Amino acid sequence: MAGHGTAHLRPADEVLLRVESLVVEFPVGRTGLTVHAVSDVSIDVKPGETLGLVGESGCGKSTTGRAVMQLVRPKGGSVTFDGHDLTQLKGEELRETRPKLQMIFQDPISSLNPRRRIRDIVREGLDIWKIGDDAARNAKVTEVLETVGIDPEAAGPRRPHEFSGGQCQRISIARAVATEPKLIICDEPVSALDVSVQAQILNLLQEMKQRYGLTLIFIAHDLAVVKNVSDRVAVMYLGKICEVSGPDELYAQPAHPYTAALLLAIPVPDPTVRPAERSGVGGEIPSPVAPPSGCRFRTRCLKATDRCAQEEPEIREVRPDHFVACHFPMEPGETLAAPAPTAGNGSHPDI
């Protein structure tokens, strides 16, 4: 899954956003060590499309989203949005792209200024960019709050701490769409919410997408959630893209062992099925400070060989519009073997 390459990228004139060979690294204090958070990641999104970006916690998906927004400046690669490479913009030029790029953060309550009133929070972008006159701005705030199911008269003069997590997330969505952006990055927008509220927020995002013609990047670690909202899904592991496909194809016929393991981790609503009886992968994600050589997933992969330790796989098309970075992709109908062979039995390298 340490995969590289751009075979899955579509022609530049067809996409709104094209991220190519993105690299984000962070120093570890004064130790001289480096966290390789995002390593050679390439993704794209067509206008009106929703890209699901999934993977375990710590795989770099949120950092990728922040790097697209230039909240974290990448060390390498390009982020081309609407024909402009954001990595080459600075100062006022970069600032002018902000109205068209918005983000919904994972923690809905802490992402809202606790000292400001709800109407002012939603209106702030309109005031900063002087979009419309005073009456038009008030009308826009009322419109977006009503659209997300918040009463503007009752909620407008109140502050974030007076609302539940689900209500704060609705307010965050209203703030994001107020400036009529082209792209919204949703960073795990439902992970902190109750299941019943999750469904409401997901339905709301779909409604807002249709109403305002939005393009979305939906970041999550829950594949069951992503399937329902995405037009295309990209799977990440330890800072790398390992598989890209449409959601139906990906869920029905995963080609990468890691994707298959994620799918097996989805809870089954059957009391007779015990989690321990289901095949999958064990162990912990290796440290991004010292990622494994070759394929980064090899230390947990049931199909790993010496080649996986020596050679990094390149992403390639294995079926129509289905791309995978694996030397030994899974065939349709193939399942993960269990239990995992132990190191030193001749099947796997000593890892």
What is the CATH number for 308?
3.40.50.300
Give yes or no for residue 224 having a pLDDT over 90: no
Q: What is the DSSP letter of 27?
A: E
Q: How far is CA 324 from CA 56, 111, 250, 295, in A?
A: 17, 35, 10, 12
Burial 75-93 (b: 16+ CB within 10 A, else e): bebebbbeeeebbebeeee
Number of domains the chain is built from: 1
The boundaries of the domain holding residue 192 are 12-82+182-324
193 found inside a domain: yes
Give yes or no for residue 1 having a pLDDT over 90: no
How much is the pTM? 0.91
89 found inside a domain: no
67 found inside a domain: yes
Each residue's pLDDT tens digit, 77-132: 999 999 999 999 999 999 999 999 999 998 888 999 999 999 999 999 999 999 99
140 found inside a domain: no
Confidence band of 348 (pLDDT split at 50, 70, 90): very low
Confidence band of 266 (pLDDT split at 50, 70, 90): confident
- The interaxial angle of helices 118-128 and 165-177, nearest 10 deg, is 20
Each residue's pLDDT tens digit, 171-210: 999 999 999 999 999 999 988 788 888 889 999 999 999 9
Question: 204 Cβ partners below 8 Å, 6+ apart?
Answer: 148, 149, 170, 173
